[in-house]
Structure formats: structure tokens, C-alpha cells
Amino acid sequence: MKIVVCIRQGRNGEMSPFEASAYESALRIGGAEVILLSMGIPSTADYLKSLTRLGAKKAILLSDTRFAGADTLATAYALSLALKKLSPDYVFCGRQTMEGDTGQTGPMTSELLGYSLMTEVMAIKNITEESAQCMTRREGECTVKAPSLLTFERICDLRLPSLFSKMGEVEIWNAEDIGADTEKCGLRGSPTRVIQTFENQSGKRKCVFLDKDALYDTIERVLNTEVLATEKTETSDKKIDKVWIVGKKPIEFARSVSDDITVIDSADEEEIAQRITTEKPNAVLFATDAESKRLAGRVAARLRIGLCADCTSLETDGETLFMVRPALSGKVIAKIKSLTLPVMATVRTEEDTKERIVVSFGHGAVGCIDRVKAFAEKIGAGIGSSRKVVDGGLIGYDTQIGLTGKVIAPEIYIAIGISGAVQHLAGMQNSRTVIAINTDKKADIFEYADYGFVMSAEELEI
Ligand SMILES: Cc1cc2nc3c(=O)[nH]c(=O)nc-3n(C[C@H](O)[C@H](O)[C@H](O)COP(=O)(O)OP(=O)(O)OC[C@H]3O[C@@H](n4cnc5c(N)ncnc54)[C@H](O)[C@@H]3O)c2cc1C
């Protein structure tokens, strides 16, 4: 059995925990020939070489200046050509990579390859050259016929190399090696383009700093203050017509740019792609839950259309639809345009929170998780967290708030030991009242908070 594992080296040299799970799961399959596949700059070869020590027979690096600047569609195109050449029984990918984090490349690659797709794999129960039986997060036990692409959740840690392990070879392939049409590669082949970047100003609040003794009183006062409902999504003055939403979740985003909205209820990619071809909408919006992302990726790849992931807002000048989302590891907000029609995007929609208060803990509070949990329990709050805490394996992904976690808007959001990275803000900045607890008065989170407490999480009184 041949398994190709797709890996992307993160900026800090680390691999996403999801990709680590994909690689480890492949290595655990007795007798399987495991090959690593990556796209990146030439120095990635050293990284891949070191990873072959864990058991992969060899690694392939797609490296060519013409691959540079690829969006998810252009990346999936190059990967799918390399995979066609390797012709594996299975392709294992992480749910998402470290930097891009879109969760789109796997579904798009499977579509371009014509492979079946199984997402959110939690465990492999049985795997043969014919089929794989897996436990998935959403659908439970599922069987998929080979050849197939599987995307893995964080389910296991990657083994360490043994002292005597040997390194495998790394082959470097360019555009000609995979028979790529260079018009479809890299920036040239990427239908989504960043046209403007700017500092994230939305959601800024005037923070009132208070003494730590005032914490409980502040929470009580805020809970007892009635506020008038506010408009959450900014609406463009101009509108575009023929905007489709798949499922009802993206309705607020659609309303911000259009009065002519059609809800598509079908979850079948073939039918949606067919309707798009014949009815030609101007935009198609999907939510960002796993199923919507899978669907969006497959439809976009089938139609060879650009897809912008995790948009936090939309804008239009009446002719073009612009998508807005954090970029460059969250340092800036980017305004993105699609060169293909319809404009396709997944949009960050809010989840209904049962709790009126959410206490979210970040890396600064990991030393006193029990104290923070006891505090949350005392005030009847639900628990949230930053990605750094989730990536550290200290709490489940279902608590992650932010661009690639949940978007919530409780009455009170209490951020403890959270720095206020733009990706985190994307998940909580519509909360009615934000309270920040941080030892560093200069932490960005205070700029997005109504009340600030400069104190350590350890000083929380229970
Ligand atoms: C593509 C992409 C997607 C991402 N998606 C998300 C996402 O969905 N959600 C998310 O959260 N992040 C996301 N991130 C990560 C994000 O950029 C930040 O790295 C992350 O939010 C930082 O987590 P943090 O604030 O807990 O940790 P840090 O940035 O390390 O901040 C810790 C804070 O704790 C404070 N502190 C230290 N000690 C104490 C103490 N004893 N008491 C109180 N305060 C203390 C420090 O002053 C500091 O401000 C994403 C990143 C990328 C590139």
C-alpha cells in the first residue's frame, strides 16, 4: 500500500499537530510505503530529509519559482499533479497547516485528483489497498474506497527518530517534472489576490482600567445593564445582486452586500457546481464549519474558481465583491479580490452560545488552569481558549475562539492571559462587553476591551 503524506513546513520550522497526526498514522500502518510530499522553497529539503528519519521511504519537494505565491487552488493544482505521478492508494493530510490554516487544500486536491475524500479522521480502524474504515469526528464510523484523500484531526504525537535511523532521499521536482501548465501555478494561477492591507481597527474599544478588587462587581454590573441591540455587521452603501448562500448561516454577511440573496440548501457538490454553471450567481458564500469548508473546497476546485477562506467581513462598490480577512500571520487585515466568477468565500459566522459569560484562557494563564476554571464556575461562565493553548494540547479544539476556531458573541467575554492576536479577536470582537486580564498593560487585548485588569491570572480570587 502506498501512502503519500502532505506536509507544509511552518514559518518557525514546526509542523501543524494535524499533519503530525497524519504522518504518524501513516507510519503506524504496517507494511505501507510512506512518501512525504511538500511544496516550498529549496531549503525545505533539509526539513523533509530530517523527517524521513522517522520512517518515510523518501520525500518529494515541489520547488520552483513559478510555484511561489500560490493560493489554495494553485497549491492544490501542483500537489494533485505530483500525486497523479506518484499514484498512491491514499493521501494523508492534516486538517489544516500551521500558517495558511484554511482547511481548503485537502478537499480541493482530492477533487482535482478525482479521489474520494474523508475529513476529520479521528482513528483508522482498518485499512487495506481497497478501502479504509475510519472514525470521523462528525459522522462516526465511515468507510471510504481507495484511492482516497483523508484529512486528520489532532489524534497523536509524532514519534521521535531513533538514534540509528537512516535518512531517506529527497527528490526536487519542478513544474516540468509534474507536467504543470505554469499559467495555473503560483501567483499567476491564483484567482484570489490581496489588493490592499491595513491595520486592524475594527472592534477597538476604550478600555477603562480598574483595580483587581472591582472584578466581581464589574461582572455583575455589566450583566445587569441592558443595552440596545447594535448592528453587528457593517453594511455597504452599494449592493450587488445574485448572491447565493449555502445553508442559512452566512445570511448576515450576504445582507451586508446584497438585497438579492438565494439560499441553497443542497449539500451535494455536483448539484451546486451544476447550478453555478447554468445560473451564474455573482457570489457564493459558505459557512466555516468542517462540512461547509469541505463542500466549498470541492465545488471551487471542480469549477477551477478562487475560494477565499475565513472572511471576517465583505465589502462592495456595487460592481466587485471584496473579501476581508486577517493575513500575514495576522499582522494585518487584507482586502482580497477574486479574478474568477462567481466570487466564492467561506465566512466566519457566529455560533450560538448558551452561556451569557465566556471565560477564555490564553498562554499566560496555563500555569493556573484550575484557578481559571474555578473562577469560570463561580461566575457561571463557559470556557474558551486561544489557539496557543489548544496547540499545546492543554484543552480541546472545541474551545478555541478565533479565526480558525469558533466565533462567539456572549454578553461578557473575559480574556485571561491572552495577548489579543488579530486571529483571536476575529472570534470574540462582537461580544457585548470584553474584560481583559493580563500582566502586561501594553498587551493588544486591552485595545479591544471595555474593562482592563492589569494583574496575573494567579491573583484571581476564588
Ligand atoms: C492562520 C492562523 C490562524 C490562527 N487562528 C487562531 C485562532 O483561531 N484563535 C487564536 O486564539 N489564535 C489563532 N492563531 C494564533 C494567534 O496568532 C496567536 O498566536 C495566539 O492567539 C496567541 O495566544 P495567546 O494570546 O494565548 O498567547 P500569547 O500571545 O503568548 O500571549 C500570552 C499573554 O499572556 C500574558 N500573561 C503572561 N503571564 C500572565 C499571567 N500570569 N497572568 C495574566 N496574563 C499573563 C502575556 O502578557 C501575553 O499578553 C492563528 C494564527 C494563524 C497564523
Cross-strand partners of 336: 194, 323
| Sheet of 313-316, strands arranged across | 192-198, 332-338, 321-327, 313-316
Question: Does 249 share its domain with 213?
Answer: no
Question: Does 216 share its domain with 264?
Answer: no
CA distance 122 to 152: 7
Task: Enter the C-alpha cell of residue 453.
Answer: 485588569
Question: What is the predicted pLDDT for the residue at 100?
Answer: 64
199 located within any domain: no
pTM of the model: 0.81
CA distance 418 to 452: 12
197 located within any domain: no
CA 249 to ligand 1 center in whole angstroms: 27
Alpha-carbon distances, residue 444 vs 214, 265, 288, 423 (angstroms): 22, 40, 26, 12
Question: What is the predicted pLDDT for the residue at 226?
Answer: 63
Question: What is the predicted pLDDT for the residue at 441?
Answer: 97
CA-closest residue to ligand 1 atom 19: 388
Question: Does 36 share its domain with 162?
Answer: yes
Q: What atom of ligand 1 comes closest to residue 389's alpha carbon? A: 26
191 located within any domain: no
Task: Enter the C-alpha cell of residue 314.
Answer: 465583505
Question: Does 302 share its domain with 357?
Answer: no
CA distance 37 to 232: 43
Ligand 1 pocket member 406 (CB < 6 A):
no
CA distance 387 to 399: 9
**Domain tally, the chain:** 3
CA 229 to ligand 1 center in whole angstroms: 29
CA 410 to ligand 1 center in whole angstroms: 20
Question: Does 32 share its domain with 67?
Answer: yes
Question: Does 104 share its domain with 238?
Answer: no
Question: Does 143 share its domain with 16?
Answer: yes
Question: What is the predicted pLDDT for the residue at 98?
Answer: 61
Cβ contact 310:348 at 8 Å:
yes
CA 211 to ligand 1 center in whole angstroms: 24
Strands 332-338 and 192-198: antiparallel
198 located within any domain: no
Question: Does 179 share its domain with 253?
Answer: no
| pLDDT by residue, tens only, the chain of 462 residues | 999 999 998 877 778 888 999 999 999 999 999 999 999 999 999 999 999 999 999 999 999 999 999 999 999 999 999 999 999 999 999 987 666 667 889 999 999 999 999 999 999 999 999 999 999 988 899 999 999 999 998 889 999 998 889 999 999 999 999 999 999 999 999 999 999 988 877 778 999 999 999 999 999 999 988 665 444 566 778 999 999 999 999 999 999 999 999 999 977 899 999 999 999 999 999 998 888 999 999 999 999 999 999 898 999 999 999 999 987 666 688 999 999 999 999 998 877 777 899 999 999 999 999 999 999 999 999 999 999 999 888 888 889 999 888 889 899 999 999 999 988 998 898 899 999 999 999 999 999 999 999 999 999 998
Which residues does 249 contact at the CB level (< 8 Å), separation at least 6? 287, 289, 292, 349
Q: What is the largest CA-CA distance in the chain?
A: 67
Nearest to 344 by CA among 310, 312, 309, 307: 307
Nearest to 421 by CA among 457, 455, 391: 391
359 located within any domain: yes
Ligand 1 pocket member 103 (CB < 6 A):
no
Ligand 1 pocket member 439 (CB < 6 A):
yes
Q: What atom of ligand 1 comes closest to residue 405's alpha carbon? A: 8
Ligand 1 pocket member 330 (CB < 6 A):
yes
* Phi, psi for residue 201 in degrees, rounded to 5: -105, -20
Considering 150, 184, 218, which residue would you say is the last residue of a domain? 184
Question: Does 252 share its domain with 394?
Answer: no
Question: Does 179 share its domain with 249?
Answer: no
Ligand 1 pocket member 107 (CB < 6 A):
no
Ligand 1 pocket member 95 (CB < 6 A):
no
**Residue 99, amino acid:** E
Q: What is the DSSP string of 175-204?
A: TTTTT--GGGSTTTT-SEEEEEEE---TT-
CATH number at residue 8: 3.40.50.620
CA-closest residue to ligand 1 atom 42: 456
Full residue range of the structural domain in which residue 397 is found: 208-230+351-459
Ligand 1 pocket member 390 (CB < 6 A):
no
189 located within any domain: no
192 located within any domain: no
CA-closest residue to ligand 1 atom 7: 402
CA distance 260 to 238: 12
CATH number at residue 390: 3.40.50.1220
374 located within any domain: yes
Question: Does 338 share its domain with 380?
Answer: no
CA 347 to ligand 1 center in whole angstroms: 22
Ligand 1 pocket member 438 (CB < 6 A):
yes
Q: Three-state SS for 56? A: coil
Question: Does 29 share its domain with 132?
Answer: yes
Q: Three-state SS for 307? A: strand
Strands 90-94 and 148-152: parallel
